[in-house]
Structure 1
């Protein structure tokens, strides 16, 4: 029932009030106090009501944050001395979707064991319903102010900046308040919360952030910030209008956070540019499966100073184990205040990377054959998530899509000719196994 990012899918099909009620009852079996918040989608109201009903009839007291960024929900679990947190959100998914994501007191999302425990209770209709005089209370609460306080305490910003924040009609208003408290002049785009996302699609991709990049580049703004619908992701734009790639952003944030001997957690599809930029500082990169849940799990280990996904999820374990887009916005603002991002870009070498996919209705069987063949033909192979081959000066990754009937191909090298050669090698291998 749960993917790595919780339950997520079309409302009225995969995600229903009945499901939310069942999840509330399942979480309520062994919880006394739970934090609940939602993003701006209209369906979030009824899903939050249903989930809250399931919790309260299990005797659980609910701290209701109402409209709140997902990192505000995740952080509030610890702040409220709660046993769990629930964010009603489909994050960067389109408007027809919604979802349910569960959080631990540490700020980390539910891991595989906890997700399966809740799934089993839902399947088995397991609940611990209470009589009329044992029902839980509902306490409306605003978690934004405490989140703002935490961000201001975590970041030093000596010089004022002019920042444009594109909220994407989502729940990330906490970023605006925090940057203003830090002394920034802030202009907003798509600031009105609206779960139909009229300003732009929820995911802050380069294409969806063209208006932000144009505005920043053609004005005297020092920085542009973009969030997705629930503000767990952050992407940024330099003063000259350049949209920073996820790998470059990861390299800059990690280099600023980690010191000699530290480790950084990043998924298997992360660019060699990150490894090379951090190696100069004595910092090593440890690969994880794709998904911020897996990055957070690795970031919880001793010696891991930072975790990041090029998709826009950034984790500072000393602060919290949830991807905190507003924290990332304040951190990148501090970097820009110290030295413009456009100048920092020149410090990060970038390399040619090729991506494609091959269709197949037999993803599992194909990947099994691919894994067997790759292990026989190559020396440095990892199977954390798909099959990744490290060739020293290059790498390729073959990974089945979690939602589509395709296997994705990614290949990278430090020069274009080598990247093309490795990509062709990986594609030929995959096509041969798809053809049986």
Structure 2
């Protein structure tokens, strides 16, 4: 239930108003002011009310932002000088996608160490309830979204002739639409497209997702289309032909631009299991690759590497350390628009990205730690070249694989890649046989 920088689970069974109340109490032990926002659903509003109640009954102050996405909450914490931020995310009709995202005072996701302390307090049987004369207060800040847009657009040149189709869920005032429009893009916002159109895992061109967005782009003169989840963290991109851009290729495009803008020796952070095509593109641009252990910190927060200019996960989460303390889909959309405005069409820019055959699959497990130990031992018996530093990595001539714990779910993620489709698929099938008995569906 407790994942990196968030509390998540199924609404009504795992994530309840009681748990939200206890979380509010836990956040107030050493943090006096909590900045709180929530997604548009009624269940999110209810959970946010419970968090606020918990904070105030322990003497803390709550600043309510209303219906806002996670990056807006993170921006608000930093802007207001709050002690902690909470973004309550719940999607009506998708109870399993409920979470309470936690941000530090600088707007960055809480580290595992910080979150462990919160978990310890949540699990306590008692709380430091304030007396009636010491109860906390609640106030509203109505300018959170406007300030977030201002910050995204500050000191940026406008676009000359860029057309974008945007599907951003059900937020009444979407930051992505507002920011792109202010910067000079011609924006067509699609109505009636909830975030259930987004893929639930890594993004593949063969995925039957975002169909409305893809049709809208293909039948218009738009330069590209974007969609993001209700929390405005994960971004999906469609090129000018209406074709979905695979997640690794998108990271490669954004990483190359970030390295070129920053100069040589700039560093890009990617997770273990990302495609080697990203390594190749970054190296050709004169940059370096860092692969921090996601399980030890709130990735992407690459530690000990001052030159990191971009962090990208193939599942659509991107971070720009110099511009935002947390992943922000609106910021990625802006940087993508700049890429298109300054250069060739996206489909043309993708031709320079190597196309290694790539397969991936996630397997749900009961215990991540014990399963990783078992898989590591089995892999060493079956493959000659295997390392186990935070994950299981191996190579077999012209193909290579990674098995690692998922960042947010109790699951193991298996990826395999190679110089040929045959070698990559054969290795993928060998490795997945170590993890699960059932033959997985192959994602290319």
Residue in structure 2 matched with residue 114 of structure 1 by the alignment? 114
Residue in structure 1 matched with residue 360 of structure 2 by the alignment? 355
* Distance in 1 (alpha carbons) for counterparts of 2:408 and 2:320: 29
Q: After the TM superposition, which of the residue ranges 68-77 and 281-290 deviates more from structure 2?
A: 281-290
Are residues 374 and 51 of structure 1, via their aligned partners in 2, closer, same or farther at CA, if it must alter by over 3 Å?
same
Residue in structure 1 matched with residue 209 of structure 2 by the alignment? 208
**Alpha-carbon deviation of 1:88?**
0.4
* Distance in 1 (alpha carbons) for counterparts of 2:46 and 2:384: 52
* Distance in 1 (alpha carbons) for counterparts of 2:186 and 2:419: 40
| Residues 11 and 95, structure 2, Cα contact 8 Å, conserved in 1 | no
Are residues 327 and 290 of structure 1, via their aligned partners in 2, closer, same or farther at CA, if it must alter by over 3 Å?
same
* Distance in 2 (alpha carbons) for counterparts of 1:158 and 1:214: 24
Secondary structure of the 1:120 match is helix
Q: After the TM superposition, which of the residue ranges 173-182 and 100-109 deviates more from structure 2?
A: 100-109
Q: After the TM superposition, which of the residue ranges 141-150 and 292-301 deviates more from structure 2?
A: 292-301
Q: After the TM superposition, which of the residue ranges 107-116 and 121-130 deviates more from structure 2?
A: 121-130
* Distance in 2 (alpha carbons) for counterparts of 1:43 and 1:111: 26
* Distance in 2 (alpha carbons) for counterparts of 1:93 and 1:272: 37
Secondary structure of the 1:30 match is coil
Q: What is the CA deviation profile of residues 280-325 of structure 1, one whole-angstrom value per residue up to 9, with x for unaligned ones?
A: 1221222234579642221674121111111111111111221101
Q: After the TM superposition, which of the residue ranges 121-130 and 350-359 deviates more from structure 2?
A: 350-359
Are residues 360 and 136 of structure 1, via their aligned partners in 2, closer, same or farther at CA, if it must alter by over 3 Å?
closer
* Distance in 2 (alpha carbons) for counterparts of 1:423 and 1:383: 20
Residue in structure 2 matched with residue 7 of structure 1 by the alignment? 7
| Residues 5 and 112, structure 2, Cα contact 8 Å, conserved in 1 | no
* Distance in 2 (alpha carbons) for counterparts of 1:131 and 1:406: 44
Are residues 171 and 391 of structure 1, via their aligned partners in 2, closer, same or farther at CA, if it must alter by over 3 Å?
farther
Q: Matches of residues 260-409 of structure 1 in structure 2 within 5 Å?
A: 260-289=264-293, 294-298=298-302, 301-339=305-343, 340-356=345-361, 365-375=370-380, 377-379=383-385, 381-384=387-390, 386-390=391-395, 393-399=398-404, 408-409=413-414
Are residues 307 and 114 of structure 1, via their aligned partners in 2, closer, same or farther at CA, if it must alter by over 3 Å?
same
* Distance in 2 (alpha carbons) for counterparts of 1:160 and 1:136: 50
**Alpha-carbon deviation of 1:379?**
4.0
Secondary structure of the 1:62 match is strand
TM-score, length-normalised on structure 2? 0.87
* Distance in 2 (alpha carbons) for counterparts of 1:343 and 1:218: 19
Secondary structure of the 1:99 match is strand
| Residues 8 and 90, structure 1, Cα contact 8 Å, conserved in 2 | no
Q: After the TM superposition, which of the residue ranges 64-73 and 300-309 deviates more from structure 2?
A: 300-309
Residue in structure 2 matched with residue 51 of structure 1 by the alignment? 51
| Residues 162 and 221, structure 1, Cα contact 8 Å, conserved in 2 | yes
Are residues 171 and 372 of structure 1, via their aligned partners in 2, closer, same or farther at CA, if it must alter by over 3 Å?
farther
* Distance in 2 (alpha carbons) for counterparts of 1:198 and 1:287: 29
* Distance in 1 (alpha carbons) for counterparts of 2:295 and 2:329: 15
Residue in structure 2 matched with residue 414 of structure 1 by the alignment? 419
Residue in structure 2 matched with residue 67 of structure 1 by the alignment? 67
* Distance in 2 (alpha carbons) for counterparts of 1:93 and 1:116: 30
Secondary structure of the 1:225 match is strand
Which stretches in structure 2 are left out of the alignment for 5+ residues?
Answer: 440-444
TM-score, length-normalised on structure 1? 0.88
* Distance in 2 (alpha carbons) for counterparts of 1:108 and 1:171: 25
Which stretches in structure 1 are left out of the alignment for 5+ residues?
Answer: none
**Alpha-carbon deviation of 1:380?**
5.2
Q: What is the CA deviation profile of residues 145-178 of structure 1, one whole-angstrom value per residue up to 9, with x for unaligned ones?
A: 1110111126433313221100132477011111
Are residues 134 and 160 of structure 1, via their aligned partners in 2, closer, same or farther at CA, if it must alter by over 3 Å?
farther
* Distance in 2 (alpha carbons) for counterparts of 1:9 and 1:293: 20
Q: Matches of residues 212-231 of structure 1 in structure 2 within 5 Å?
A: 212-231=213-232
The size of the alignment, in residue pairs, is: 428
* Distance in 1 (alpha carbons) for counterparts of 2:327 and 2:364: 32
Secondary structure of the 1:418 match is helix
* Distance in 1 (alpha carbons) for counterparts of 2:279 and 2:93: 30
Q: After the TM superposition, which of the residue ranges 361-370 and 234-243 deviates more from structure 2?
A: 361-370
